[in-house]
Every structure is written in C-alpha cells, then in structure tokens.
C-alpha cells in the first residue's frame, strides 16, 4: 500500500492588501483592520499580505494615514503570523525608477518596522531591476520572494519562465512567486507551468492569481497537485471577482487530503462575519461596485488586469468618451506589441493603458505621447522581452539614443537631496521615504499631520484653561 506523504498547503491571506486594492480601490483603513487581527493571528496562515502595492499611496493620499504607522500597529497585533508586502523592484511602491540608496533604505525600514516577506517584481520582468531589492532584503535578513509577472505572448514560453526562475534562484531569492495579476492562468496551463518550475528550482513556489476570469480556484487546485507550495487567498467577503479565490473554499477543498492546511472553519467564519459587515458598508457607500464581483471572461481575451479595466473606464469618463471603451480595449494589445510586449502590471499597465486611450481619442496613433511612454521607449524602465516597434519608437522619441544599461546605474544617490528638501517636516526617519515616493502627496500629508497636532495641542490648552481658570 502506498503511503501518501503529507504536504499541507501554505496559505497567504490577502484581505489586508490585494483583496481591498482589487475590490474597493485600496480604501480599507487601519482602524477597520485592527479589531480583527487577533483572530486572524490564530488561523495559522503562512503569511498575511498587508502592506505595499497601492496601500502606501492610498493611505497617504486618500485616507490621510501614515502607512508606516499602519505597519507598526499591524506588527504589534500579529504576534505569530508573518507579514508580507508587495514591492515593485526599482520602482519601490511608486511609478518611477529610484536610485539604489532609496531602494536599500526602503527595504531596511520595511523590515525594521515589521515586514517578514518582501514580494519583489518588475513590470518588464527585467531581472536587473530586482537585484538591488533582493540584495537589500538578504542583507536585512528578510525573506526575499521574487515574482514572475505572468503574461501571455509569443515570447513567454515555458523555457522563458524556467530561465527566469533559474536566474531568480541564483540571485538569492528565498522563494518564487507566479504573479498572475490579470487571472490569465487556466488550470491545466498552471499545472504545466508549476511542474516545469518545480523541476527547475529548489526554492518554494507561491501561486498568486485573481478570480477575474472565474477559473482561479481550479487553477490553484491544479497548481497544488503539481507541487506548488503556497497559494494566496482572501477571506470570502473580500474574495472572488477581481480579488483572489476564497480562503474558506480552498481550505475546505483540501480538507482530509495530504494538502489539508488544518484551518478551523469556525474561526474563519468569525473572521468572515467581521469582514462581511465592512463589505456591506462598502456596497452601500458605492465603494464596492458589484460590477467587479462577477466573472469577466473578457479578461482572457484582452489580457488586461481588473484594476486596469476600471482605470480605463474612469479615464474615458473624465474625457466624456465612454463610448470608446471597446475601441480602447482593442488598442491595448497593439500598444503592448509596439512597446515590446511587456506584462501589464503597475506601472507598465498604466503606461500602455493611457497611451491606448490617447491613440483612440486623438484619432491618430502616437500623435499624443505621454512622458512615461517616451521613457519606456527610451529604455528607462529597463529591457522588454521583445524589441520595440522601431517606427513607433522613432515617432515617439525621435533621434534620442535609447539606453541599454540597468536604468538605476544612471541615477546618483538621491537620499541626501531628499532629506534636505523635506527636513522641516520630518518627524520620523521614515518620512523621507514617503517623500521620496510621492513628494506632493507626502507634503500634503505632513502639513495635514502638523495641523492635526496643533489642533490637539490647542484643545489640550483650552481644556487646561477651563479646568484652571486664571
Ligand atoms: Co494581485
């Protein structure tokens, strides 16, 4: 009789990062998170993804919260669970390339404030853009998980992914992630990919996908059977649609099998009850649009991530050109091809998407070209897997000589200048990093913070005056 070896699947919960980024435009506040983390800490998650990605920008810009403060509070609450963040390689959590000193300092401070696992990716899969962040995470004794930004296209063969995975392992990554941000991976393709990668690398493999096209939970099933070590899920009220498959469903699927994660469904139900109330509030406020909750099979046709679809809609709305939506969707793959067929993930998704909108609404392709498109075509985001369309490149950047080196090699250290520029607002060491990524937004936040503090000081003074009238 054969004995089946137990291999419990590890589960990373995304409700505090990707799930609310995908469903409610990253608007979950720290106050909404804190009451439930004691329970979440008891589940036995491999990790909770709770920081990075768009949460940093959204906290500062829309919620008027210090993202570093959020991280410290989450760290205090999660005594037994690893905390994970999403990190855009040389773009950190912003949309541009930063110098190595900023990348290194950001990694150092993320780990010092409580992050255990840093998931690092590059929007072009240019591994030179991952090196500094991986080295910094290794140095700070953090876990460097490096992601393949999964996409489809002629260049993206099994050999391509295997070759990239091998380089990632050699670079010093502690685990590998298949990051399928658009939900393109179908179950049998996932099985094939995981099997091939398992033969190629020894480090654990984490599968990350989105439910957008409706196949994601089946994709996880086949991936796990093929040897995938970790899957990313969201507690049910914030699962499905453009988010991840539901945690309870995956835990139940594997119950009693060698992959059983051993989660307590009663505990998961209590956590779900908490988030269900938030979901109802978000539906009432219009923050959660029922449109993002359904199955959108078009995502497989247009290969566009869910977040990018809603961006395109809002860009067209602003211009009063909503009727051009399908024309734009068809222009996206053409622009992508002209731009060397990159994966569509922040920031390449925004660059390609905005350019597609301009190509359609201006009535002539590349008549209007964004600064970011020019940068991309000048090699300033790194190397794409395929060459740029030379005619388009010429039309957009003229005779400018594109760069071929790692873009950050051309950047002088930036921290000394940044420190000087924002010194009058500085209250924490981390403030300079917030400023480095989002100068305008950070300054507004710093001023808001000062105003709040003055108000508090004033009301304390007023109270004292009332208690001890002169
Ligand atoms: Co995601």
pLDDT tens-digit readout, 35-75: 999 999 999 999 999 999 999 999 999 999 999 999 999 99
Q: Buried (b) or exposed (e) across 78-113, using 16+ Cβ within 10 A?
A: beebbbbbbbbbbbbbbbebbbbbbbbbbbbbbbeb
Tell me the C-alpha distance between 297 and 303, whole Å.
10
Q: Which residue has the tokens 């979950």?
A: 28
What six digits make up the tokens of 212? 């957008």
Q: Using CA atoms, how far apart are residues 156 and 354, in angstroms rounded to an integer? A: 24
Determine the distance separating the centroid of ligand 1 and the alpha carbon of 412, expressed in angstroms: 32
Q: Inter-axis angle of helices 325-338 and 306-318, to 10 degrees? A: 120
Mean pLDDT on 326-349: 94
Average pLDDT over residues 348-361: 95
Q: At residue 440, does pLDDT exceed 50?
A: yes
Contacts of 102 (CB under 8 A, 6+ apart): 92, 414, 415, 418, 433, 436
CA–CA separation, 424 vs 237, rounded Å? 43
206 CA to middle of ligand 1, Å?
Answer: 12
pLDDT at 470: 47
Q: Among the listed ranges 332-336, 401-405, 433-437, 466-470, which one has the minimum average pLDDT value?
A: 466-470
Is pLDDT of 299 > 90? no
Strands 47-52 and 117-120: unpaired
For the segment 214-243, the average pLDDT, to the nearest whole number, is 97
Give me ligand 1 centre to Cα 179, in Å.
7
Angstrom distance (rounded) from CA 119 to CA 449: 30
Task: Look up the pTM and report it.
Answer: 0.94
Question: How much distance in Å is there from the Cα of 410 to the middle of ligand 1?
Answer: 30
Q: Are 370 and 355 in contact (CB under 8 A)?
A: yes
Do 88 and 107 meet the contact criterion of CB atoms below 8 Å apart? no
Query: Is pLDDT at 309 greater than 90 in this prediction?
Result: no
CA of 372 to the centre of ligand 1 (A): 23
How many other C-beta atoms can be found within 10 angstroms of the C-beta atom of residue 442?
22
At residue 228, the pLDDT reads: 98
Question: Lowest mean pLDDT: which of 101-105, 285-289, 306-310?
Answer: 306-310
pLDDT for 169 equals: 98
């Amino acid at each position: 009789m054969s004995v089946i070896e137990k291999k419990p699947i590890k589960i990373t919960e995304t409700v505090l990062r990707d799930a609310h980024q995908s469903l409610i435009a990253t608007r979950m506040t720290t106050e909404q998170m804190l009451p439930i983390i004691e329970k979440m800490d008891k589940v036995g998650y491999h990790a909770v993804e709770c920081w990075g990605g768009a949460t940093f920008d959204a906290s500062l810009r829309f919620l008027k919260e210090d993202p570093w403060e959020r991280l410290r509070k989450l760290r205090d609450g999660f005594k037994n669970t690893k905390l994970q963040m999403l990190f855009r390689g040389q773009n950190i959590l912003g949309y541009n390339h930063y110098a190595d000193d900023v990348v290194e300092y950001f990694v150092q401070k993320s780990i010092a404030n409580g992050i255990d696992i840093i998931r690092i990716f590059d929007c072009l899969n240019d591994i030179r853009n991952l090196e500094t962040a991986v080295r910094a995470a290794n140095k700070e004794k953090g876990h460097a998980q490096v992601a393949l930004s999964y996409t489809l296209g002629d260049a993206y063969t099994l050999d391509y992914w295997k070759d990239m995975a091998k380089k990632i392992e050699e670079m010093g990554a502690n685990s590998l992630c298949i990051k399928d941000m658009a939900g393109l991976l179908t179950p049998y393709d996932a099985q094939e990919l995981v099997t091939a990668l398992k033969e190629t690398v020894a480090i654990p493999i984490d599968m990350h996908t989105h439910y957008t096209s409706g196949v994601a939970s089946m994709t996880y099933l086949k991936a796990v059977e093929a040897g995938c070590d970790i899957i990313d899920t969201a507690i049910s009220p914030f699962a499905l649609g453009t988010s991840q498959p539901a945690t309870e469903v995956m835990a139940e699927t594997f119950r009693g099998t060698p992959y059983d994660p051993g989660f307590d469904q009663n505990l998961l139900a209590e956590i779900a009850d908490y988030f269900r109330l938030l979901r109802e509030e978000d539906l009432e406020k219009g923050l959660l649009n029922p449109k993002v909750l359904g199955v959108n099979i078009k995502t497989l046709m247009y290969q566009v991530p869910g977040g990018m679809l809603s961006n395109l809609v809002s860009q067209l709305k602003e211009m009063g050109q909503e009727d051009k939506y399908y024309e734009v969707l068809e222009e996206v793959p053409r622009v992508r091809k002209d731009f060397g067929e990159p994966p569509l993930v922040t920031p390449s998704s925004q660059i390609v998407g905005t350019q597609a909108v301009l190509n359609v609404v201006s009535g002539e392709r590349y008549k209007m070209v964004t600064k970011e498109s020019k940068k991309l075509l000048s090699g300033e985001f790194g190397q794409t897997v395929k060459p740029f369309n030379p005619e388009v490149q010429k039309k957009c950047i003229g005779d400018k000589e594109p760069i071929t080196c790692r873009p950050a090699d051309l950047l002088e250290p930036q921290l000394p200048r940044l420190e000087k520029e924002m010194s009058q607002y500085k209250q924490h060491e981390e403030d300079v990093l917030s400023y480095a990524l989002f100068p305008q937004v950070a300054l507004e936040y710093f001023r808001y913070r000062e105003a709040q503090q003055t108000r508090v000081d004033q009301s304390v003074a007023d109270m004292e005056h009332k208690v001890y009238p002169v």
